[in-house]
A = this chain, B = another copy of it.
Amino acid sequence: MNYCSQCGHFPLEYRIPAGDTRERFVCPSCGTIHYQNPRNVVGTVPVWEDKVLLCKRAIEPRAGYWTLPAGYMELSETTAECAARETREESGAEVELVQLFSLQNVPHVSQVHLFYLARMRSPAFSAGEESLEVRLFEEDEIPWGEIAFTTVSQTLRHYFQDRRNGVFGMHTGDVVRPIFDERDPLLPGLPPAPVDVDQ
Contacts and interface: CB of A to CB of B under 8 A. Distances in A.
A178 to B, nearest CB: 10
Interface stretch (A45-53, A102-110, A138-146, A158-166): A102-110
A6 interface: yes
Interface in A17-53: 19, 22, 34-40
A184 interface: yes
A90 interface: no
Interface in A85-102: 96-100
Size class of the A contact interface (CB-based, 8 Å): 35 or more
A187 B80 contact: yes
DSSP class of A's interface residues: helix, strand, loop or mixed? loop
A189 B10 contact: no
Nearest to A184: B81
B5 A108 contact: no
Contact of A38 (B40, B174, B183): B40
Interface string A169-194: 01010100000000110011110000
A54 interface: no
28 contacts: A2-B6, A2-B8, A3-B5, A3-B6, A5-B34, A8-B8, A37-B39, A37-B73, A37-B74, A38-B73, A38-B75, A78-B183, A78-B190, A79-B105, A80-B105, A80-B187, A84-B187, A84-B189, A96-B188, A96-B189, A97-B187, A97-B189, A97-B190, A98-B189, A99-B172, A100-B103, A100-B172, A170-B170
